[in-house]
Amino acid sequence: MAGVKRGVTSEHGLIAHGRGEAYDYLLGEKTHDFALAAIDAAAQLLTSASHPVISVNGNVAALVAADLVRLSEALGAPLEVNIFHASKQREQAIRSCLQKHGAGEVLMPSTDAELDFIDSNRKYVHPEGIYKADAIFVPLEDGDRCQALRQMGKAVVTVDLNPMSRTSRAASITIVDNVVRALPLLLESLRGLAADNGRHSAEFDNLAHLAAAEREIRSQGS
Ligand code: PTJ
């Protein structure tokens, strides 16, 4: 609610937040092993990318702005504002929110570069940011853009409490956890990776991890 009052989050964002809370409740409001494995795989993928970018919408700016700034510093990756529900005013408010938490330059959407395969406002991107990126960290993504980014050959790491969403299924790596818990853990994993000479273990099978999350949700009713 505070995010809406500050002009950062859209009213639709509140509904999305409620959806997230429902899934979080079903997941016992804790970080599971499938999420920890996804976090380590995400740290590995983002570290080995040549041009990673962090995409920021109204919900994540309200929830985890300080952690997004820390992530940007840890990865040397730019922060880029990109929202689904079009509003120039809200784009500026998100940028100010990030800068209040210590961000330097924040890339803004522009009409100079457009993503293929997508019609919504999220197609407008920065030519030096998402347009050029080989890997994008985009928590609370919408399904259409996630699919478009994948079709353009980009790796996508998302955070989504719903393991059945189109985004979760289309992403390269989905962290099924609350973004508020997942971001500090991702930062910790990046520190571990640096101490471990840049290598976390093993292959990551996104669909298998989503299936584990879905089993956890279904087990709540039995
Ligand atoms: O600021 P904008 O205009 O870009 O709008 C952002 C939202 C999030 C409103 C927009 O991208 C949207 O409508 O998203 P969806 O399609 O509702 O997807 C959001 C997904 O995030 C849903 O699957 C929710 O369950 C999930 N979610 C919500 N809150 C959290 C979450 N996942 C992790 N942590 C949360 N706190």
pLDDT at position 222: 58
Tokens of 106: 């924040």
| 8, 36, 52, 67 from 175: Cα distances, Å | 24, 8, 17, 16
We find that the CATH architecture of domain 2-220 is 3-Layer(aba) Sandwich (3.40)
Where do runs of H (alpha helix) occur along the chain? 2-5, 11-26, 33-48, 58-75, 88-100, 143-151, 166-170, 179-195, 206-219
Distance in angstroms (rounded) separating the CA atoms of residues 132 and 216: 37
**86 contacts 57 by C-beta, under 8 angstroms:** no
Considering Cα of 101, then 121, then 179, then 204, what sign does the dihedral take? negative
pLDDT at position 141: 87
The residues pairing with 175 across neighbouring beta strands, listed in sequence order, are: 159
Question: Residue 59: which of 94, 88, 31 has the closest Cα?
Answer: 94
Ligand 1 pocket residue status of 20, Cβ below 6 Å: yes
For ligand 1, the distance from its centroid to the CA atom of residue 198, given in whole angstroms, is 31
**Taking every pair of C-alpha atoms in the chain, what is the biggest distance, in angstroms?**
52
The residues pairing with 195 across neighbouring beta strands, listed in sequence order, are: none
Question: Does residue 52 sit in helix, strand or coil?
Answer: strand
Ligand 1 pocket residue status of 129, Cβ below 6 Å: no
The residues of the chain scoring below 70 in pLDDT are: 198-202, 221-222
Ligand 1 pocket residue status of 131, Cβ below 6 Å: no
Distance in angstroms (rounded) separating the CA atoms of residues 153 and 133: 10
The residue whose C-alpha atom lies closest to atom 24 belonging to ligand 1 is 20
For ligand 1, the distance from its centroid to the CA atom of residue 214, given in whole angstroms, is 18
Q: What are the two backbone dihedrals, phi and then psi, of residue 157, each rounded to the nearest 5 degrees?
A: -110, 125
Ligand 1 pocket residue status of 55, Cβ below 6 Å: no
pLDDT at position 221: 54
In terms of Cβ atoms closer than 10 Å to its own Cβ (0-12, 13-18, 19+), residue 215 is exposed
Distance in angstroms (rounded) separating the CA atoms of residues 131 and 127: 5
Question: Residue 24: which of 158, 169, 182 has the closest Cα?
Answer: 182
The residue whose C-alpha atom lies closest to atom 16 belonging to ligand 1 is 142
The model carries a pTM of 0.96
The residue whose C-alpha atom lies closest to atom 27 belonging to ligand 1 is 20
Running DSSP on this structure, what letter comes out for residue 159?
E
